[in-house]
Amino acid sequence: MLQHNLQRFLVKTAASFLAVCMCGCTETIELDTDNAKPVIVIYGVLTDLPSYQEIEISSSTGYFDNQPNPRISDALVSITSEDGTEYTLTEVDTVPGLYRTSVLMSGTPGKRYTLTVKTDFDGDGVGETYSAEAKMEQKIDLDSITITTPEMMGYKFFSINMYAMDVPDKSYYFIRYQVNDSVYNKISRYIVFDDMGIEEQYINGASIGYFPDRKEKDRFTEEDAQHMTFIKPGDTIRIQLCSISKGYYNFLLQCQKEIAGENPFFGGPLSNVTTNLSNGAIGYFAARTISEKQHVAPVRK
Amino acid sequence: MKLDHFFQKGFHSLLFRTSTRICMLLFVCSSIAMAKSNPYATPSAADNPVNPENKYKVSGTIRDLKTKEPLLSVSVNVKELKKGTSTDENGAYSLSLPKGTYTFVVSYIGYKTITTRVMISAAMKRDFNLDMDTLLMKEVVVEESVVFKEKKDETVTRTIMGVDKLSIGEIKKMPALMGEVDVIKAIQLLPGVQPTSEGSSGFSVRGGSADQNLILLDQSTVYNAGHMFGFFSVFNNDIVDKVQLYKGDLPMMYGGRLSSLLDVQLKDDYTGKLRGSGGLGLISSRLMLEGSLGDKTSWVLSGRRSYADLFLKLSSDKSMRESSIYFYDLNAKMTHRFSAFDKLSMNLYMGNDNFGSSIARFSYGNKVGSLNWKHVYHENLYSNLSLHLTDYHFLLQSDMENAKAKWVSNITDLTVRWDFTRSVNSNLVLSYGATSTLHRFNPGLITQPDYDDFRVPANNTLEHSLYLSAEQEVNDKLTVRYGLRWGFFQNMGSATVYTYNKNYEAIDSTRYGAGKIYNTYHALEPRVGVVYKLTDQSSVKANYTRNTQFIQLANNSSSGSPLDLWFPANPNIKPQAMDMVSAGYFQNFNKNAIEASVEVYYKKMSHLIDFADHAQLMLNKKLDGEIRVGNGKAYGVELMVRKNTGALTGFINYTLSRSERTIPEINNGKTYLSPFDKTHSINVSVSYALSKKWNFSAAWVYSTGNPTSYPTGRFEIGGEYFPVYSGRNEYRRTDYHRLDLSVNYVPKHDTKRFWTGEWNFSVYNAYGQKNPWIITYDQDTPTGIPEANMTYLFGMVPSITYNFKF
């Protein structure tokens, strides 16, 4: 995995060292920006587990708008597999803008799926059609995970390590994790990586993340702690290793990069996150195959 | 949790707390020292034939009486004819005079003027030794600055345009960030030059990007001129002799970059008794020693090291004790004069930055070495043959459990160059020569304990040039310079070259064996300059120049980074080219004491490179697929007024400019501003010598804010907001301005003392302007609605430095 993360990690480390010498300060400012015309935002990720597959539809707004983004109701949404089976998604009564298949559905690795959304977004009385295609990649089986308890720079951590065989062909992954009952399902919390440097090799206990010990939470500022996940001995950690397409991998990385704005040393010019939707819509329609394992955080020796 | 996020947030906070401790140690400081030297031996006299106009050539060398160093830019005037010249870098002058007896006036600031009668009846050689006039020496530093003063009316007479020189004396008096006197920060005050970001030693010339500048240290290329992520430059001011910046119109002997040449020349050829200089600052300490072995060999050694990390060892915290953060520079130069005709010099430079902890290490640095042989064939022909080796490397290493890995990368150049200068007659000087460089780019080798090595294949290329240039005085008023440079670039195996489709996806590849030349580019670069002297003190100039760039940097960050990956032109990437026309009016006042100029330029760039949105530039075997090519243009007006003599010296300049790019696949093909576009820019740098003991300096800079992109919309996924942009660089940050102040105090001013100490107190950003460095967005707000945060790097930064010389 890990060059990709490693590369970024080292870069971050270096940047942190930099923080050591410069006494930079941050303050909140008002930016006077134009508000672009709203566009339709469509997002959904099909899985290979039998479930009610979901698509969310909303509208973009001005960046600093103080209202949540409007949800788009009453759209006609369907997913068609390459063999022609069509699944209709209907809006969930209690959650506007969330559409679900009415039957349990699971994607099949290697197959392509087409999403079609029909709605009159621009309000001109004529409906528009937005579509996207997603391919479900081959599944990679997670053999196991382990949790070790390293201490670094005077801090105690739990390291979650994965064991799996990388498949032939260039492959792209992300990991979603869960601590006890809390699922960390925000894009900014995903661990996104490709197989550069480990192609077709056995991933032999590579660390996917270092989680600080809950006992030491007080050592971090409240603001920093917000972005961190703390673990204590006895916690059950569950991880989902998901195989995804190159396009969705790029989408996730771009979302993670763009969410925070400028990065002076290692970021490029700020740019729009790519999309695979047609007709001017933004967002993404993707598919993922899931392999899950769990482990209990050990008592520190 | 993501590694990435962890380091971003977790470690930041870890380090930040320790960082505040270090910050306290890191205030301030530095610089000044001595410099004085001069290039090499004189072409000595040979018999001089009578020329057709019955004029005879009088030539000779002018040296310092005590040190015997040749002096540059000494003026030699013939009173009766109101004719004169000045010495070149070898202290040599030559005049053609009809038979007769004349009064020669040899004068030089800081030296006693010699007035003498000379009878001329045949070609002759006449040397002068000037004695230093100690009464005139106002300040230690003045002595240095005058030595490097250009020919007094040079701004009016030289044919090259857009060239700025700064003397090291002048630079040392300028206020400096944390007291670290820095030649690159100084040139950023020149018209048309901007730092790429706050505090950075990267610079943009006339709207170009940082990799379009050729930086030479005694003719050897320096790929990354920054320490500490660019906040300090690699040039140790103790050993720097002279700094010249050519803003596009490069001397014919150089090429390979579109925007500029920064020519940093080191001290040389000091043959007096051992002397030294140095300084103690809070960032670094420096020591320079120079001396001679006999009267034919001179040497100079200098070193600089930052030492904040030494305090880490005193920390009670174990992880702090295991950490390191420092940089150093070492320079060594030795020159031996075999005879008046042959001089050999050797120059070595090594610098490195290290950031380390128990879990990670990051280090990078330059190594430069050169051998240089100057030979005088006869009075009118001399040559310079040199061999240069340059290496830039970086290393990133993780020692974290279950994530151990190491990434090394470097670029190595081996260059041979042979340059000739020939004076055909007193009105025509020819320069010609050839260069050849082998570049080896090694983007990265990653090793990790449990896995196979991962390597991005190295690139080998050859870059050659042949040039011929003539400078011709057509008559008293008109001088022209014209020439042609032939650049020629070859890609060499072993290599795998991919072919890309319209979507920049690799569809095919071709493998070339080791040593196989698989692609060649030629570039002809004509350059022409004209100077027409309106009066003795004013001139108009015009020129045209074409530059080609074959290698470039894969970096699209705003501040640059030490992770410098250069990549060459190849079958997929054509060389970048620039055509520039410029014109100017130059007027000196008050016997050249005040220089004023107006220059306008227009440049057009073709095959200009930028990178795709979200380009993956690191460790990418298919880097070519991330490159987008288009055109660029830049134009502007630069006004400069400069006062060189008297108690109050300095300059004020104003630039009005624009720089833009049009690249079909970027910004939907719409023209966008270069990230370095600044509409207005004003720089003021003044220095006032109150007495021998006190000198006050101030610098004020103002410029339009950098172009940037602000989000005009957002979309939401899973409760998180992501930005939507309407286009690239459509907004600007707030305007940038800053005042820096410094005071030099020499407690005991006596040139006869063995030791002279000097204190420098300076304040960077004296009125604490909060200039935005980056704009970031945070949505962990009470309302959940994102807000913008501005980070500024420096508040008011005071510093103190003690400098000495002996």
Position B12 scores a pLDDT of 33
Q: What does DSSP say about strands B342-356 and B324-337: parallel, antiparallel, or unpaired?
A: antiparallel
Arithmetic mean of pLDDT, A67-94: 96
Q: Is residue A233 part of a domain?
A: yes
Cβ <8 Å between A12 and B8: yes
Arithmetic mean of pLDDT, A29-43: 92
Arithmetic mean of pLDDT, A165-170: 88
| CB-CB contact of B681 with B654 (8 Å) | yes
Q: Is residue A123 part of a domain?
A: yes
Whether B425 has a pLDDT exceeding 60, the answer reads yes
Position B352 scores a pLDDT of 96
Whether B770 has a pLDDT exceeding 70, the answer reads yes
**Scanning the structure block, which residue is given the tokens 């101030």?**
B698
Whether B392 has a pLDDT exceeding 60, the answer reads yes
Arithmetic mean of pLDDT, B332-359: 91
Position B83 scores a pLDDT of 76
A109 touches chain B (CB under 8 A): no
The CATH number covering residue A226 comes to: 2.60.40
Cβ <8 Å between B12 and A185: no
Please compute, for residue A94, the number of CA atoms within 13 A of its CA located in the half-sphere on the CB side. 0
Identify the band that residue B60 occupies on the pLDDT scale cut at 50, 70 and 90: confident
Helix (H, G, I), strand (E, B) or coil at A81: strand
> Both A237 and A144 in a single domain?
yes
Cβ <8 Å between B720 and A58: no
In this complex, the residue of A25, A152, A197 whose CB is nearest that of residue B451 is A197
Cβ <8 Å between B557 and A267: yes
- Greater model confidence, A179 or B28: A179
> Both A130 and A150 in a single domain?
no
Distances (CA, A) of B218 to A27, B302, B346, B369: 44, 15, 10, 10
> Both A184 and A201 in a single domain?
yes
Identify the band that residue B313 occupies on the pLDDT scale cut at 50, 70 and 90: confident
Q: Give the least confident one: B29-38, B329-338, B679-688.
A: B29-38
| CB-CB contact of B258 with B580 (8 Å) | no
pLDDT above 70 as % of chain B: 90
Q: Is residue A227 part of a domain?
A: yes
Residues 426-465 of B with CB under 8 A from A: 446, 448, 450-452, 454
Cβ <8 Å between A272 and B786: no
Q: What is the pLDDT of residues A206-237, one digit of tens each?
A: 899 899 999 999 988 887 888 889 999 999 99
Identify the band that residue B679 occupies on the pLDDT scale cut at 50, 70 and 90: very high
What residue segments make up the domains of chain B, in order of their start?
3-34+174-805
Position A11 scores a pLDDT of 53
Cβ <8 Å between A22 and B719: no
Identify the band that residue B53 occupies on the pLDDT scale cut at 50, 70 and 90: low
> Both A59 and A122 in a single domain?
yes
> Both A78 and A125 in a single domain?
yes
Q: Please give the CATH number for the structural domain made up of B3-34+174-805.
A: 2.40.170.20
B407 touches chain A (CB under 8 A): yes
Consecutive H or E run containing B414: strand B405-425
By C-alpha distance, the chain A residue nearest B197 is: A264
Identify the band that residue B173 occupies on the pLDDT scale cut at 50, 70 and 90: confident
Q: Is residue A115 part of a domain?
A: yes
Please compute, for residue A48, the number of CA atoms within 13 A of its CA located in the half-sphere on the CB side. 21
Helix (H, G, I), strand (E, B) or coil at A21: helix
Across B292-306, B626-640, B787-801, the highest mean pLDDT is recorded for B626-640
Position B158 scores a pLDDT of 80
- Greater model confidence, A52 or B143: A52
B552: left (phi over 0), alpha (psi -120 to 50) or beta: beta
Both structure tokens of B616: 């993956």
Position B135 scores a pLDDT of 39
Q: Give the least confident one: A292-301, B163-172, B275-284.
A: B163-172
In this complex, the residue of B318, B557, B708 whose CB is nearest that of residue A268 is B557
Cβ <8 Å between B454 and A263: no
Cβ <8 Å between B451 and A159: no
Q: Is residue A278 part of a domain?
A: no
B3 touches chain A (CB under 8 A): yes
Measure in Å the smallest separation between the Cα of B749 and chain A Cα atoms: 35
> Both A130 and A186 in a single domain?
no
Q: What is the pLDDT of residues B74-106, one digit of tens each?
A: 888 887 887 778 887 778 888 888 888 888 888
> Both A151 and A121 in a single domain?
no
> Both A150 and A239 in a single domain?
yes
Whether B414 has a pLDDT exceeding 90, the answer reads yes
Helix (H, G, I), strand (E, B) or coil at B458: coil
Mean model confidence pLDDT for chain A: 90
Burial B413-427 (b: 16+ CB within 10 A, else e): bebebebbbbbeebe
Q: Give the least confident one: B117-131, B194-208, B461-475.
A: B117-131
> Both A79 and A151 in a single domain?
no
Both structure tokens of A52: 């009610």
- CB atoms under 10 Å from CB of B587, counted, come to 18
Cβ <8 Å between A28 and B789: yes
Question: Widest CA span of chain B, in angstroms?
Answer: 95
B340 touches chain A (CB under 8 A): no
> Both A128 and A161 in a single domain?
no
By C-alpha distance, the chain B residue nearest A190 is: B2
A104 touches chain B (CB under 8 A): no
Q: Give the least confident one: B87-96, B244-253, B290-299, B418-427.
A: B87-96
User: Going by C-beta distance under 8 Å and a sequence separation of 6 or more, which residues neighbour residue B290?
Assistant: B37, B267, B270, B274, B275, B276, B298, B299, B300, B301
Arithmetic mean of pLDDT, B560-585: 93
> Both A237 and A225 in a single domain?
yes
Measure in Å the smallest separation between the Cα of B576 and chain A Cα atoms: 21
| CB-CB contact of B775 with B804 (8 Å) | no
Q: Is residue A147 part of a domain?
A: yes
ipTM of the complex, rounded to two decimals: 0.95
Q: Is residue A46 part of a domain?
A: yes
Cβ <8 Å between B558 and A20: no
Q: Is residue A22 part of a domain?
A: no
Mean model confidence pLDDT for chain B: 85
By C-alpha distance, the chain A residue nearest B230 is: A265
Q: Which domain holds residue A49?
A: 40-135
> Both A219 and A128 in a single domain?
no
Whole-number Å distance between alpha carbons of B125 and B52: 19
Q: What is the pLDDT of residues B5-20, one digit of tens each?
A: 333 333 333 332 233 2
Position A23 scores a pLDDT of 54
In this complex, the residue of A7, A64, A271 whose CB is nearest that of residue B614 is A271
Position A19 scores a pLDDT of 54
Question: Widest CA span of chain A, in angstroms?
Answer: 67
Identify the band that residue B380 occupies on the pLDDT scale cut at 50, 70 and 90: confident
pLDDT above 70 as % of chain A: 92
Whether B35 has a pLDDT exceeding 60, the answer reads no
Whether B531 has a pLDDT exceeding 50, the answer reads yes
Tell me how many domains chain A contains.
Answer: 2
A206 touches chain B (CB under 8 A): yes
By C-alpha distance, the chain B residue nearest A174 is: B2
